[in-house]
Every structure is written in structure tokens, then in C-alpha cells.
Structure 1
Amino acid sequence: MKQGEIKLDGVLDEPAWAEAEKAAGFWLVTPVDSGYPTQQSEVMMTYDDKALYIAVMFYDTIPGKRVAESFRRDFNFNNNDNFLLVFDTFRDQTMAYTFGFSASGALWDGIVTGQGTNLNWDSKMEVEVKDDMDRLTAEMKVPFKSIRYPAESRVWYANFGRLDLKTNEKSAWAPVPRQFPHVSPAYTGVLIFDEKLPKPGINL
């Protein structure tokens, strides 16, 4: 749903989030690729003329600190509690943009292909994380000018994934076989925008 600009503070109190549809009911990817994870997650999206905004909520009822080993960009995501997403903007299931963050708010972005993930590519994404007792919430901003997509685009493929090191579980919104990365352009759901998107750009 198209809305006004979101203030990035990790607090999901803007009217846009109250109206946005939720991507919920995540599926386990590992240790087994069936059933539901111990801790569920929710993702919402909205946009304005300049950027996509993604709201993330990780439920966490297990006592103890979340694992945040590194504050570096493009951290080792196997060693940090994290959220990742993929946008297959051309819907070819071979190349996608990936964006993510760790529990500490460290950024992670790259381009995914059949040869792996190119982490040398950096976008102008931003994120703010709020860590509460029973959940972690975050707001992410991805400028449209950071990514390429068809000029008349209204439909992308997408997936959202979580790594929870307390439970040693990976989960994803769209089901993914466990032998694949938990966010892969080959396994996605459908993301439909209300209106035609702004003209794409190149990482400005």
C-alpha cells in the first residue's frame, strides 16, 4: 500500500503500519523444511515516491540475549541473528537484490545469482532496530534509485527470511527446501504494488 514517508526509528507507530498487510506464517527451512519455527515473524511493506519501507517484527519469548557478533556491513549472517529479504524485480528467478540486517542493526546487501551473492554491491539502504524483551522490531528503507526494475513494473517476486540462533532455526515466508539458502530467487512469493512504481535508477 502506498503511504507517506516513514520515520525510521524501529517503532511501528505510523498509520501506514496499522493499515499494511502482513506477511506472516513463516515456514521452517532448517533444521527441517516442514512445519513452523519456534518463534514466528511478521513483515509489512509500504512505499512513497522515493523508497520502499519494510517493517519487521521478530517474536522472541525465549530468555537470553540475541546473538549479534558483528557491527560490520555485510556481516557473517550465519553468526548473527538476522533478517534477510530478496527482491526478484525482473521475475526471472536467476538474479535478485538482497537486503538485511543483524540484531545489532548492522547492514547486509548484495546481488544474488546462480554463482552466489556479490557483497561488493552496496545500496543506500537504511535500518533502525528496536530491541524489546519479547520481540525485535525494525524499519528498513530501500530507495527505488538503488535498484533496477522494469519501467511499468507492479509485480515482483520476493521472500523474507530469519535466522534465530537461540533455536538454531532458519525460517522464510515462502517455503524453501533446506538445501538452498533461506532467501533464494528460485523460491519466492508474489509482491503486488498498488500503483506503477517511480522510474528506476542506479544506486543514487
Structure 2
Amino acid sequence: MSLTNGMVFFFMALIFAPFIRYLWLADKQYHYRLTTEGLVTTYHDAIPDAAYAVVRGLAWFGVVVCIVGVAFLGPAALVGAGGMALGAFFFTGFKNVETTYESPVKNGHRHLIKVTRNRPFIACQSDVRTMGLRASIRLHCALNKMHTILSLLMTQLPDSEIRVFKNERVLDGVPFASFESGKPAQLSDFAPDNTQPS
């Protein structure tokens, strides 16, 4: 009996693991747009549209099963598995949702641009507070795009300083906009011919 239970658990895990990984814990696809007001970030799940179509198809199948079950068995059909079929109504419109948010910058103020190279990451933080908050931009990027992004930031925020950190954990452990931390760097250090991780 325990071998049968183990096999059932194994096959259920085999079925649900990809579902959980690729639908609930999916990778995100980010798009960034730098404006004079700050960084506009748009992201959505990196899931093919075919996966959403399959889920919608299964949901509609569940809806039909639910209606047929209620027609033949009455409301008692909604107990147990029938209740899951009733939940299928929520997935009939399942689609990829795009989220947008804006990270402001304070033009005319000094900013600290924190950078890591081994896992390319940029954090830009202002030294001035507005209503108790400081402007902050955080983004991951391709190593070969760092020079372009930093050039845009330095053009828009000319009094900024670039500091290089070993990794994100060290970068996040440093006090906000602490200009004495990290290793000083120049924009030219991130030119395409200098983009080898250090």
C-alpha cells in the first residue's frame, strides 16, 4: 500500500512541479525606459502565450464538467472535485499581466550609482530626501549594456559618482547613498572593451 501511495505522490509531483515552476514562479521579463523624471520599469512573466491558452482550455473544460455535474447530480456535485471545477471559472480569462512602476530621480542633486559586475546590477540613489524618501533606481542589465545605461544616467545626473561593489549583498548592506563606500570607478571602466567581470 505504501508503494502505491509513493507512486501516486511521485506522479502528482511530476505533474504539478512544472505547473508551479512555470506559471506561479515564472521568470520575469523586464523592460526599462529612462526618462527625465526617472526610470519606468515594465515587466511580465516570461511565459509563452501557448501556456496561457492551455490553462484557459483546461479551465473551460472544468466549467463544462461543473455544469454537467450539477445538471445530473444537483448541488451535491460541487462537493470535493466539483468544487475545483467550480474554481475553473476564475481561470477562463487567464492571461499575462504587465506591471509598470516608476522609480524617480532628482535632477540637480548628487546621486550615488552603485554597480556590481559579476551579476550586472545598477542601483542609483539620491543624497536628498523628499517627503522623507530618497529617490532610488534598481535594475539588472546585460554586462554589455552597462556602459550605455551608465552613460545615460551620468548625462542626466552629471554630479553623480560611480562606486563598484563585490556583489548585491554587499551593495545592499551599505548605508543608503553612502559616498565613502565601494570602490570608485569612472564611466570609461565600463566601456565595451573593459566589460570583463572583476
Q: Could you state the TM-score of these two structures normalised by the residue count of structure 2?
A: 0.23
Higher strand share: 1
Q: Which has the larger radius of gyration?
A: 2
Q: Could you state the TM-score of these two structures normalised by the residue count of structure 1?
A: 0.23
Question: Comparing both chains, which one has the higher relative contact order based on Cα–Cα distances under 8 Å and sequence gaps of 6 or more?
Answer: 1
Higher helix share: 2
